[in-house]
Amino acid sequence: MPTSKDSDIASQPYASSFYKEQTPAYLHYAMQCGTGGQANVGLPAAFSPSETFASCDIGCGFGLTPLITAVADPTADVWGFDFNAEHISSASALADAAGTSNITLLDASFETFLDRSTPDFDLITLHGIYSWVSPENRHQILDILSNKLKPGGVVYVSYNCFTGWASSAPVQQFLTDYIDRTNSESLAGVGKATALVDQMRSAGAAFFGVNPQAGKILDIALQSDPRYLVHEYLTGNWTLFSLAQVANELVAAGLSYVGSADLTHAFDVFHMTPEAQAMLGDIDDLLLQQSARDFFMTSLLRKDIFVKDPQLITSDQQTEALMDQRFCATKPADQLPQHFNFPRGGVSLTADAHAAIKEALIQGPASARMVIDASGAELKSVLNGLKLLTDIGFLAPALPETMTTVAQEHTDRFNAALAGYEKGGDEPVPFYASPITGGGVSRESDPDLLRTLGVTV
């Protein structure tokens, strides 16, 4: 069962947001890329977005991600649960307002969900939760993964990365101490505590001089929603992990690490020296290699993909899958850049690949095969260009056209329901649902761009 401090933090509402890495379409593409892991792991047949599947979001918060997943594929059986009753009540109200019937939202603990009758899931996702709960609760999560995930099923888990957060552990402890020592209410107190730490930095605290990463994280905290800060910093079980640690725990549920949902793993050449890349290449153990990589990248969040009983495919099969993956522009297609800046300098797409991708996407969603057939551009340049543009946020993997056609009515209804739902005093929803990407798109986006992503409001 949750501890008293877990329960106190869980009772505080979390900020409503959408996480693309939890959606089937995005994970489908990340697995095709084989990013940061076993390059030739096959996609489970039932996990393909062209097939019916069952998914579950553990600790779903206000439920925006599973709701968008449900409306983007009305044939899916989507579940989400959270220990915070306010989250589930609000998410259920939005589901009802949008007429979304293929989602089950539960106010439940890990233990009570484990006892619940559910389908066997093709996909289970956890955003941040693994770093915020007690060892006992992590064991219950493992029981859920072990008992409710299909053979061949996929797990996405994000968690605080040891190397990225290590220098900020004293700041996290100070925020916790401040709340405890001043008997502050957590939501109001975390803002005061964060401001005090900033005053310490301004007063010349040597800690920030020898720990520059802590200063960067503090800057993020100062701009963050206090509700996020409560869940991120004040849990009594705040835990930092290496990949090897998480993988060692998940193996008990029969899961193997197959790669990362973070596409930057595909472009280490732009982030690391040749010496660093060679050194990592000499480490035979995949988990150690990835944990060593984190010393160079210092990412705050690892975004990892695990599979129960993964099956290997050939390189040719992997390439064929990548050739048929469709993409759409998430910024004006006629403005897609050719040149990019990275820590190790500027990088450019080849002129042929850039022109071909840009021209194809101006017409609408396109696959690498469509780009090459229309232009004769070189295969490797096109595949790498699409991957790079997706990594930096100019493109998104698109659902198959047949799925988009079916989803349109449901996303239209969901998007139309948002205004009425918010007028009732419910949590503001910062994203529309796109029937093309199967994910969320900011409601502040340009109207013309919204239309190209299938959003009409």
**Range 311-318 average pLDDT:** 82
| Contact status, residue 352 vs residue 378, Cβ threshold 8 Å | yes
Mean pLDDT over all residues of the chain?
A: 91
User: From CA 24, how far away is CA 43, in angstroms rounded?
Assistant: 11
| Helix, strand, coil percentages in the chain from 3-state DSSP, rounded to 5 | 55, 15, 30
Interval 376-382 mean pLDDT: 95
Q: Could you report the per-residue pLDDT of 267-289, keeping only the tens digit for each? A: 999 999 999 999 999 999 999 99
Contact 175, 191 (CB under 8 A): no
Domains and CATH numbers, the chain: 14-163+239-313 (3.40.50.150), 168-233 (no CATH), 332-392 (no CATH)
Sort 202 into a burial class: Cβ within 10 Å, 0-12 / 13-18 / 19+.
exposed
In one-letter notation, the amino acid at residue 224 is S
Tokens of 287: 């988990």
Question: pLDDT (tens digit, 9 = 90+) per residue, 195-242?
Answer: 999 999 999 999 999 999 999 999 999 999 888 899 888 888 999 999
Whether the per-residue pLDDT at 452 is higher than 90: the answer is: yes
From the centroid of its chain, how far is CA 361? Answer: 24
Q: Band the pLDDT of 11: cuts 50, 70, 90.
A: low
Q: What is the pLDDT of residues 46-96, one digit of tens each?
A: 555 556 789 999 999 999 999 999 999 999 999 999 999 999 999 999 999
Residues 380-428 have pLDDT tens digits of 999 999 999 999 999 999 999 999 999 999 999 999 999 888 877 777 8
